[in-house]
């Protein structure tokens, strides 16, 4: 750069520095946007449902569904509402309970159901219309460890 006056040189350097900052800022925005899209793609809870038969044991994670085509039924594990089960290796006054919120779509009608599994049990069951739902929520809590919501798995058997 050739400058004839000192003030022109200063102005030209300022303009070059601003362009460099603008380019760096644009790169930063592009990189951050790419990272956000990559993270969102990994959080897709709309996975294809698994297909099972009546009486088959199946396991689904939070946000996942299972279809039972012969019964026109779909079971979706929405979330764990609460897990107060007495942790392994702990002494508790109360055994606690794990509450899982599921949605069952049966013959085109949506049903919201809360499954309550008492602590210190391997599984529990509920009646839904003419079906018996046998279920268990895993993992079972351990003393001093928190279970992230995404790590819960619901094992179910829908039988007549």
Same domain, 25 and 91: no
Same domain, 101 and 148: yes
Same domain, 38 and 100: no
Same domain, 13 and 55: no
CA diameter of the chain: 93
Same domain, 98 and 38: no
Same domain, 60 and 35: no
Give CA separation, 48 vs 51, 66, 76, 113, in Å: 9, 9, 11, 21
Q: For every one of its 160 residues, what pLDDT tens digit does the chain have, with 9 covering 90 and above?
A: 555 555 556 666 666 766 665 655 545 545 544 444 444 444 444 578 899 999 999 999 999 999 999 999 999 999 999 999 999 888 889 999 999 999 999 999 999 999 999 998 999 999 999 999 999 999 999 988 999 999 999 999 999 9
Same domain, 35 and 56: no
Give CA separation, 102 vs 27, 86, 91, 135, in Å: 43, 23, 30, 11
Domain that holds residue 24: 1-44
Instruction: Provide the whole-model pTM.
Output: 0.69
Residue 86 · residue 95 · CB < 8 Å: yes
Same domain, 57 and 132: yes
Write the CATH number for 89: 2.60.98
Alpha helices for the chain (secondary structure H): 6-42
Same domain, 103 and 136: yes
């Amino acid at each position: 750069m050739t400058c004839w006056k000192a003030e022109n040189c200063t102005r030209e350097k300022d303009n070059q520095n601003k362009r460099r900052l603008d380019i760096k800022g644009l790169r930063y925005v592009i990189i951050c946007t790419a990272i956000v899209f990559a993270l969102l793609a990994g959080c897709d809870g709309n996975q294809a449902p698994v297909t099972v038969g009546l009486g088959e044991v199946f396991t689904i994670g939070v946000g996942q569904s299972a279809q039972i085509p012969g019964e026109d039924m779909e079971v979706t594990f929405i979330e764990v509402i609460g897990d107060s089960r007495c942790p392994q290796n702990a002494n508790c006054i109360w055994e606690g309970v794990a509450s899982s919120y599921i949605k069952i779509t049966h013959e085109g009608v949506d049903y919201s159901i809360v499954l309550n599994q008492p602590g210190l049990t391997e599984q529990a069951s509920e009646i839904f219309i003419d079906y018996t739902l046998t279920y268990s929520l895993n993992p079972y809590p351990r003393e001093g460890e928190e279970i992230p919501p995404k790590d819960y798995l619901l094992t179910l058997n829908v039988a007549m």
